Structure 1
Amino acid sequence: MSRSNATGSPNPSTFILLGIPGLEGAHVWIAIPFSVMYAIAFLGNFTIMLIVKMEPSLHGPMYYFLCMLAATDLVLSTSTVPKMLSIFWFNDREINFSACLTQMFFIHCFTAMESGIFASMALDRYVAICNPLRHSTILTNPIVGKIGLAMLLRGGLITLPCPLLARLWPYCRTNVMLHTCCEHTAVVNLACADIRISSYYGLFVAVLLLGLDVLYIAVSYTLILRAIFSLPTKDARLKTFGTCGSHLCAILAFYIPGLFSVLTYRFGQSVALHFHVLFANVCLLFPPMLNPIIYGVRTKHIRDRLLRLFTQKGT
């Protein structure tokens, strides 16, 4: 195992990211689906933001939140995938210590922000369905902007202690990380110190932040479903519920893989390490890739504007 190359310093100057342990020989082939997923995520989310910007009829709370989600997905995937692909294709395994902590901050900050945006979108759907006459007065553009800024500040402030604590620990045993990115747990597990503060804080963030968001979304949709089932006709119920379909699919694509990854990492000691790392990478890239597909296919206004855009280019 490689030793830290920062003589006389508690911190290494670089970390070595091994990629996916046990599957080093297949890195080149593993990179192919990941690069395709990243290309879809990048182009899809950029297209969503472009369409909303170009189409005045989409300038409303739901689509502004969707743009926030697309921007968050772009930052989240771009902060991890390029380095991952450089490991897979060029064996470029070194990452500067400060760059590693910065990557850690971006991963967890924008994961928290994405969760907050999903909760904000649940608020939008609740107001639109349960109090439609006041929707435009409650969720004005300034209010939507303030909600987005609050989600960004919340994610940044609650995530900031993770890299700050990680910087305090001495890394005197090894600087080799069995991962493709500087995920919080992977970094602090290399420290030759009592890291319980970091571990407890990471668990606290996951339970408090994501747990509260999930609880809020669940309560919102309980009220939404109650309002939907009180509608007089089946067609009205289906049409109203259809406005929530994209949001529900995106929520499931974000929370279910993430929950499975956390549970297997903490309690699945018998699960192979390469599966942990591979699945953690899928969890980082799967929602950014899937979200623009879900909203592009299921949201009529976006689908129609996209078809019109390609039709105009084809004529």
Structure 2
Amino acid sequence: MDAEFNRTYITLGGYVGVDKYGYLYFVILLALYLLILCTNLTIIYVICIHRNLHEPMYIFIAALSVNSILFSTTIYPKLFIDVLSQRQIISHSACMFQYFMCYSIGISDFLLLSAMAYDRYVSICKPLQYPTIMGRITVTVLLALAWFIPASQLGATTVINSKQKLCDFTTGGIFCNNKVFKLHCVQSAVLNVYGLFIMLNLIVVPVIFILFTYIKIFLITYHSCIEVKKKAAETCLPHLMVLMCFSCLSIFDIITARLESNIPKSVRSVMTLLIFVYNPLFNPIIYGVKMKGISKHIKGLFRHLMTKNI
């Protein structure tokens, strides 16, 4: 029976102190999840109901918030169950689905940030051509590609990996990330090369494109008037802050997958939780505070709610 159980389920061995602090973890995680939902739904709601925010930049921000909600919903419900359970397990099929959702959504964020960088470049450097270049069709195509390309490329590798034979059934993480592939009996060189191709194609290239685009924007605006410089700073800096934070967390995920045995379990668990918390919560906060078009409407929404309650 145990052998049959092990062939079906994978043990998540990255949890620390669940026996003692399980209920405390549950309360903290639930509060974080509700906060993530509230902040991101607020951003989406404000952008949807205000017509002056129906612009490409704000549509891409709303798409990032949708990704944050989907990413968190893929992770948090399973965390709720695990911290209250005596045995932290997940079926192999559910593990592969969680892997697919997390990484396809995460990579989609890089592509959305690339689309936002292109939008800012056209808006600031080619303002007269902006309405023509960034029309409704262009925005729709960029959104579709940002979601479809990662899903299609990761879908292929997920299906292939799901058919690999497992010789180990315990992973050192608290969710199904790249570490799950270390459980395979044979490490496929072809899959490793394909994984490297995905990383270069969908992460490294978009990051280089974003940095190149913003460098070009700042070089052009350096010789422009104060108003143009102010516009560039207000709209570009929040995107760069999000990119830097998300890139650091992505690098950490890759490092922990490669150097799992060299990093203490408690450190791995805390840093992994930062991936679940920081980006989904950081995005709506930074855009809600730094983007004047959004922050103005959020303040108005809260004033309306407070006045109504009084």
Give 1:295 shift.
0.6
Give 1:26 shift.
4.2
Instruction: Letter of the 1:178 partner, please give it.
Output: G
**What is the alpha-carbon distance in structure 2 between the residues aligned to residue 108 and residue 236 of structure 1?**
36
**What is the alpha-carbon distance in structure 1 between the residues aligned to residue 10 and residue 252 of structure 2?**
27
Give 1:291 shift.
0.3
| Superposed counterparts of 1:1-315, under 5 Å | 4-5=3-4, 12-20=7-15, 25-91=20-86, 93-171=88-166, 173-183=167-177, 185-233=178-226, 236-267=228-259, 269-315=261-307
Distance 1:162 1:280, change over 3 A: farther
**What is the alpha-carbon distance in structure 2 between the residues aligned to residue 5 and residue 289 of structure 1?**
40
- Check the 8 A contact 2:124/2:232 in 1, yes or no: yes
TM-score, with normalisation over the residues of structure 2?
A: 0.90
Instruction: Letter of the 2:4 partner, please give it.
Output: N
Give 1:86 shift.
1.4
- Which stretches in structure 1 are left out of the alignment for 5+ residues? none
- Which stretches in structure 2 are left out of the alignment for 5+ residues? none
Give 1:54 shift.
0.8
Instruction: Letter of the 2:121 partner, please give it.
Output: Y
Deviation per residue, 1:204-236 (Å, 9 max, x gap): 322331000111001101111011101134x54
- Check the 8 A contact 1:19/1:84 in 2, yes or no: no
Give 1:271 shift.
2.0
Aligned pair count reads 307
- Check the 8 A contact 2:165/2:184 in 1, yes or no: yes
**What is the alpha-carbon distance in structure 1 between the residues aligned to residue 296 and residue 48 of structure 2?**
15
**What is the alpha-carbon distance in structure 1 between the residues aligned to residue 264 and residue 301 of structure 2?**
46
**What is the alpha-carbon distance in structure 1 between the residues aligned to residue 56 and residue 160 of structure 2?**
37
Give 1:279 shift.
1.3
Give 1:27 shift.
4.5
**What is the alpha-carbon distance in structure 1 between the residues aligned to residue 87 and residue 125 of structure 2?**
53
SS in 2 for 1:169: coil
Give 1:177 shift.
2.6
Structure number with the higher helix fraction is 2
SS in 2 for 1:20: coil
What's the Cα RMSD here?
2.3
**What is the alpha-carbon distance in structure 2 between the residues aligned to residue 146 and residue 46 of structure 1?**
23
Q: Which moved more, 1:141-150 or 1:84-93?
A: 84-93
Deviation per residue, 1:2-61 (Å, 9 max, x gap): 95426xxxx922222234257764444444443333222211111111111111111110
Instruction: Letter of the 1:144 partner, please give it.
Output: V
**Percentage of identical aligned residues:** 24
**What is the alpha-carbon distance in structure 2 between the residues aligned to residue 176 and residue 267 of structure 1?**
16
**What is the alpha-carbon distance in structure 1 between the residues aligned to residue 35 and residue 185 of structure 2?**
40
**What is the alpha-carbon distance in structure 2 between the residues aligned to residue 81 and residue 95 of structure 1?**
14
- Check the 8 A contact 1:86/1:92 in 2, yes or no: no
